[in-house]
Amino acid sequence: MKILLANPPCILPLGGGMELSFVRAGSRWPFSDKKERSRPLNYVPFPFYLAYLAALLQKDGHDVQVVDAVALNEDEAGFIDHVSRLRADIILFETTTPTIDYDLELTRKIRKTSKAKIALAGAHATTFAEEILTSSAQIDFVFRNEYEISFRNMISALSEGRDLECLKGFSLRREDGSVLSLPSAGPVNLSELAPPARDLFPSNDKPDLSIYWDGFCQYRPAVQMHASRGCPFHCNFCVWNQVMYGEGRYRMFDAARVVDEMEMMVRNYGAREIYFDDDTFTGNKKHVLEITREIIRRDLRIPWSCMGDAMVTDAEMISMMAKSGCVGMKFGVESGNKQILKNIKKPVKFDKIKMVAKACSGHKIKTHATFTFGLFGETRDTMEETLEFAKELDVDSVQFSITTPFPGTRYFSQCEAQNTITTREWRKYDGSRSAVVDFEGLSHEEVEEFCRSATTKWLRHKLKDPGWVLRQVYLLNRLRKGQGNRLFSEKIFRALRTAIK
């Protein structure tokens, strides 16, 4: 069977050669980024679910085609032409909340030129599976939660002419037009997953792993990997843990397998940095220590970085991470107000966060902390508290975003119950630029305005700290050595030019 796995584009023109392009598959937080029309996105996450699935389907002998239009910087017309030429038997799209209306319209256009069955996956599709199938006749299947094994089982049943209704993990339209939701498949057993089929991305005819990039990385090419899946915490706004994982447990790949894959990335793809784009790389101390000791035992000298969590990271872990080559760690703080953190069920101790940031700095591990405005109970004063804590924290960079009440989360249900959501226009559920929740005494417009100015205020404060400035000089020099003068200069110039425009 010929199967197309796709990450479709969603691009909105802005004029003046600029556009908004949505980051989709591979990101736990779908959002739009402003860029020049001819340029790729500055952040291109690797679409792991599609790649794990591709490996499984190839193992079963299927003809697997891939089109990651986001990574290819392909517009809608180019994507539709690409899909039409491939003549697949079934097409799988990953969808997101802010792009769902565009995605459904795109599938209607594709249906006009293709007889392929069309399947959707992703958090939004999971939440509204039956509604999507009922209202969109061009959609044949909606895969819920983690979908690699469920989709593989469905393809096997289709290929062998077996009944689909005895399977799990998806919703489908029957021949009589009725919609059936099969039972949940439950969390994926990670031992069932083969390493991602990276050689197919971003497309079979243009394989190029170096196109995937996280701006936090300091060496290039940097290859993205997973060492675990899930998170031991249960923040009320997190769509991935609640919807994609169905509140499933934290799972880890075997440490030896992780380091095997790291070696493969160096050998096969010339990786100069590994970025562990886990939900929480540092979620289990024993696992982290096993990985770091295995890296040291094999003398695998490659810089690596990760998405971690400061509350479960201690001095011993940081020391071993640094010894094994760690050069960077991101972590979420979310808010500088204790009551708000209690409201969202995020166990944060501010002294512990400060200790982790300081310890990382002492080991020359670059740090990046994320904060979000618009959490349940937010006020103007609590946003100011968050900004002040971000200024105090000894980190190298920050991300300020707007909390999005993604459907399927407890935060969404909470806001709905209190009638604080301002719109059901899904395209506005874009945390890089739009707030959709009003609070008592705090409007969504005020949240947007505060978020827009926060980074500038934070940076002005940091530039007054000579120690922080000196550390940035060191990190910038490491970045230059890791990416080369041309790429380094181009990155700085592009960032300045985009900001001016």
Task: For domain 2-181, give its CATH number from 1.10.357.10, 3.40.309.10, 3.40.710.10, 3.40.50.2300.
Answer: 3.40.50.2300
- Region at 40 (left for phi over 0; alpha for psi -120 to 50; beta for the rest): beta
Give the residue among 319, 332, 264, 247 at the shortest CA–CA distance from 288: 319
- Region at 441 (left for phi over 0; alpha for psi -120 to 50; beta for the rest): left
What 3-state class would DSSP assign to 474? helix
Residue 501 has pLDDT above 50, yes or no: no
Residues 98-110: pLDDT tens digits?
Answer: 999 999 999 999 9
Give the residue among 148, 147, 155, 11 at the shortest CA–CA distance from 79: 11
State the average pLDDT over residues 82-104: 96
Query: pLDDT at position 482, please?
Result: 93
- What is the DSSP track for 6-30? EE---EEEEETTEEEEEE-TT-SS-
Query: pLDDT at position 496, please?
Result: 56
**Number of other CB atoms surrounding residue 85 within 10 Å:** 9
- Quickly state the pLDDT bin for 499 (edges 50, 70, 90): very low
Q: What percent of the chain has pLDDT over 70?
A: 97
Q: What CATH fold (topology level) applies to the domain 213-488?
A: pyruvate-formate lyase- activating enzyme (3.80.30)
State the average pLDDT over residues 398-418: 96
- What is the DSSP track for 48-95? HHHHHHHHHHHHTT-EEEEEEHHHHT--HHHHHHHHHHH--SEEEEE-
Report the C-alpha gap between 42 and 20 in whole angstroms: 12
Query: pLDDT at position 40, please?
Result: 87
Report the C-alpha gap between 469 and 459 in whole angstroms: 10
pTM of this prediction?
Answer: 0.95
**C-beta of residue 391 within 8 angstroms of C-beta of residue 458:** yes
pLDDT higher at 124 or 483 = 124
State the average pLDDT over residues 469-494: 83
Residues 6+ apart with CB under 8 A from 28: 239, 240, 279
State the average pLDDT over residues 318-338: 97
Query: pLDDT at position 347, please?
Result: 87
Which run of H or E residues covers position 297?
A: helix 285-297
Residue 114 has pLDDT above 80, yes or no: yes
**Number of other CB atoms surrounding residue 288 within 10 Å:** 28
Query: pLDDT at position 489, please?
Result: 73
Query: pLDDT at position 498, please?
Result: 41
Give the residue among 315, 239, 316, 314 at the shortest CA–CA distance from 279: 239
What 3-state class would DSSP assign to 438? coil
Residues 6+ apart with CB under 8 A from 264: 195
Mean pLDDT score across all residues of the chain: 94
State the average pLDDT over residues 387-416: 97
- Quickly state the pLDDT bin for 248 (edges 50, 70, 90): confident
**Number of other CB atoms surrounding residue 271 within 10 Å:** 25
State the average pLDDT over residues 25-47: 92
What 3-state class would DSSP assign to 418? coil
Residues 6+ apart with CB under 8 A from 51: 196, 197, 198, 200, 201
For tokens 């936090």, what's the residue?
Answer: 216
Query: pLDDT at position 289, please?
Result: 98
State the average pLDDT over residues 85-94: 96
- Point out which residues pair with 7 in neighbouring strands: 68
State the average pLDDT over residues 214-238: 95
**C-beta of residue 132 within 8 angstroms of C-beta of residue 43:** no
Domain with CATH 3.40.50.2300 in the chain: 2-181
Instruction: Look up residue 452 and give its two tokens.
Output: 């827009």
Query: pLDDT at position 79, please?
Result: 96
Amino acid at 218: Q
- DSSP code at position 1: -
Residue 385 has pLDDT above 50, yes or no: yes
Instruction: Look up residue 375 and give its two tokens.
Output: 């959490």
Minimum mean pLDDT range among 281-290, 371-380, 482-491 = 482-491
Domain with CATH 3.80.30.20 in the chain: 213-488
State the average pLDDT over residues 372-382: 95
Instruction: Look up residue 26 and give its two tokens.
Output: 């591979």
